[in-house]
Amino acid sequence: MVEKVRDVVEALNTFNEVRTACFGQTLDPEYKTYISSFLDAYLKLGIDVIPKVYAVLVHIPHFLD
């Protein structure tokens, strides 16, 4: 149970890094690294990739490029 909570906290923390890297006044040049870290943390949860997460993983990098 504690391990699952840690995984959720890690996913939320990595998502927050994506938020600050991609949606601030300036774009962090390493934003793809943050998105990749979020993907790894999200997949550790063992749940389906919902459309909003898919948008973060695929469409945001495409738009920012």
In the predicted structure, residue 2 carries a pLDDT above the cut 90: no
Quickly state the pLDDT bin for 5 (edges 50, 70, 90): very high
Instruction: For the chain, give the percent of residues with pLDDT over 70.
Output: 100
Question: Which pLDDT does position 3 carry in this prediction?
Answer: 87
**pLDDT per residue over 16-43, tens digit each?**
999 999 999 999 999 999 999 999 999 9
Burial 36-59 (b: 16+ CB within 10 A, else e): ebbbebbeeeeeeeeeebeebbee
